[in-house]
Structure 1
């Protein structure tokens, strides 16, 4: 079955959640169950075939391991190592020479540090290649993937002709799609990096020195001198993500603040706070 067909059969997108898959399966299974289409033999046969497709698609996509294999290779080996024809495709069109099967896409997750600094990764891939007699053989190969500093989620890395190949067809392209792992401190927004910094109320009023570790391992010292009002954001120029298309340039580091208020104050403390703030207003 070609890449993406299981998703089309269940009428869901490639990012569908388990719950969305389950709902789609139940809806289609009820519609195409053979017991509901038993009045005419031709309709029953069509329903049985459709129900089998739906069940097969759900069996693969609802299993995380099977789904990962399917997303990577474009098919899941059920009863055959061959890639099945697409729905409605006749024997003649399937055997046309010089036909190129669809590209195979697979997500590849990187840490924010890797996307900041750039990195190299080796991937072992397996693909089906026909010999001179048309018999499919499995070929393994090590591919080197180079990530440039600043690449974003969704960037595609294409290896032409490194996907599966059917007899009489050109090999498919193999495409890796960059994904981004969540980071404990930083969040990426475009070319900017955003952090949420907790500070005490007293620090929001009188200032604070922040010590941050950058994604390339530098120690960054930042002075907060302004009064941190609600919605205040401190912008540090050129300390965001590298801009891949503009070497040497970076986005900004944006610091948002979460001011922590004291849980209680004594009567004396309330008096002092009121006195100090009253003087500040004058």
Structure 2
């Protein structure tokens, strides 16, 4: 049989077209590369294509008939097994029955076209074209309380999404981290009874994520009869740091220096969020409120973690509380006063 399309979509062999649509939508919400934030992108892309191919084959009566009779290899090659079991040959007979579609040629549909068709494109959901290939985030926003898309006749409703705060340190958001969160939820067993289960959700925090970033776990809320379980959404929040504050992709720190250091220079020493020790020379005269910018020592940029924002050091000049007469005289002499 080769690839088991039924197992990929997690449906039985008698699944209806509506069953296939529901299974596809559920899995696409998890694995579409633009929606998927918690897994490896290449893995998500491969899984999404596999799900789309399974739906393409099983939702097409001709493809499904050939697949059910002869398997994936025959479907794609156009050759069916001989009744003797000694190999494949084109447009032959199988168990004394003619090939169901002698002129059939396997032509797989584009994964993004399938996605646009089932989730609705800006052209009304027909699929294809650039509009059909863009990720339809609007579907998820507009259908949190509505279950199926507007084109579906299903009356099953979806429970409202549940949002939780995910507190992250600045170090987590700088370096990336893995957080495991234990949840308790109700599920329906095979007999329809409600029972409590505990589950561990894993979130891979990517370097550069910002406050407000949302991570969605589709249908991980409580299950109830007649209601699609809610999505669980974690919203990133940023814990205060002792030294640095974040300004978009920049890191900002305050540095107090004495009046003498402001006039004569100083070496600012600090430890970065990833544990490196930096020594930054201040060679120009500093006025209160001045900033020194150190390029590429800010936060990673989430779309390209190899790039970073800047580190901005804000200076506060500390003036002496008093000067002796001798010190004042010395300053007049050095600074050229009378």
Q: Output the TM-score relative to the length of structure 2.
A: 0.53
CA contact (8 A) 1:97 1:168 kept: no
What is the aligned counterpart of 1:256 among 314, 319, 325?
Answer: 314
CA contact (8 A) 1:192 1:241 kept: yes
How far, CA to CA, are the matches of 1:258 and 1:148 in structure 2? 34
Aligned twin of 1:75: none
Q: Is 1:222 aligned to residue 280 of structure 2? A: yes
In structure 2, the residue corresponding to 1:203 is in which secondary structure? helix
Where does structure 1 lack aligned partners over 5 or more consecutive residues? 1-85, 87-95
**1:196-243: per-residue Cα shift (whole Å, max 9, x none)?**
001111000000001110000001110000111122100000000000
**1:56-105: per-residue Cα shift (whole Å, max 9, x none)?**
xxxxxxxxxxxxxxxxxxxxxxxxxxxxxx9xxxxxxxxx9521101110
- Matches of residues 39-50 of structure 1 in structure 2 within 5 Å? none
Runs ≥4 residues deviating over 2 A = 130-136
Aligned twin of 1:40: none
Aligned twin of 1:137: 195
Aligned twin of 1:231: 289
Aligned twin of 1:122: 180
What is the aligned counterpart of 2:236 among 175, 178, 198?
Answer: 178
How far, CA to CA, are the matches of 1:120 and 1:197 in structure 2? 32
CA contact (8 A) 1:241 1:250 kept: yes
How far, CA to CA, are the matches of 2:317 and 2:302 in structure 1? 35
Aligned twin of 2:220: 162
CA contact (8 A) 1:97 1:169 kept: no
In structure 2, the residue corresponding to 1:249 is in which secondary structure? strand
How far, CA to CA, are the matches of 2:192 and 2:328 in structure 1? 86
Decide which structure has the larger Cα Rg and report it: 2
Greater relative contact order: 1 or 2 (C-alpha under 8 angstroms, separation 6 or more)? 1
In structure 2, the residue corresponding to 1:162 is in which secondary structure? coil
Q: Is 1:106 aligned to residue 164 of structure 2? A: yes
How far, CA to CA, are the matches of 2:334 and 2:167 in structure 1? 52
* Distance apart, 1:133 and its partner CA: 5.3
* Distance apart, 1:109 and its partner CA: 0.4
| Aligned pairs, number | 186
How far, CA to CA, are the matches of 1:242 and 1:117 in structure 2? 8
Where does structure 2 lack aligned partners over 5 or more consecutive residues? 1-144, 146-153
Aligned twin of 1:212: 270
How far, CA to CA, are the matches of 1:191 and 1:184 in structure 2? 18
How far, CA to CA, are the matches of 2:163 and 2:193 in structure 1? 24
RMSD between superposed Cα atoms in Å:
1.8
How far, CA to CA, are the matches of 1:99 and 1:175 in structure 2? 18
In structure 2, the residue corresponding to 1:124 is in which secondary structure? strand
CA contact (8 A) 2:289 2:316 kept: no
How far, CA to CA, are the matches of 2:326 and 2:205 in structure 1? 59
What is the aligned counterpart of 2:205 among 132, 147, 154?
Answer: 147
* Distance apart, 1:134 and its partner CA: 4.5
* Distance apart, 1:130 and its partner CA: 2.8
Q: Output the TM-score relative to the length of structure 1.
A: 0.63
* Distance apart, 1:129 and its partner CA: 1.8
How far, CA to CA, are the matches of 1:230 and 1:201 in structure 2? 10
In structure 2, the residue corresponding to 1:270 is in which secondary structure? helix
How far, CA to CA, are the matches of 2:324 and 2:199 in structure 1? 70
* Distance apart, 1:256 and its partner CA: 0.3
In structure 2, the residue corresponding to 1:275 is in which secondary structure? helix
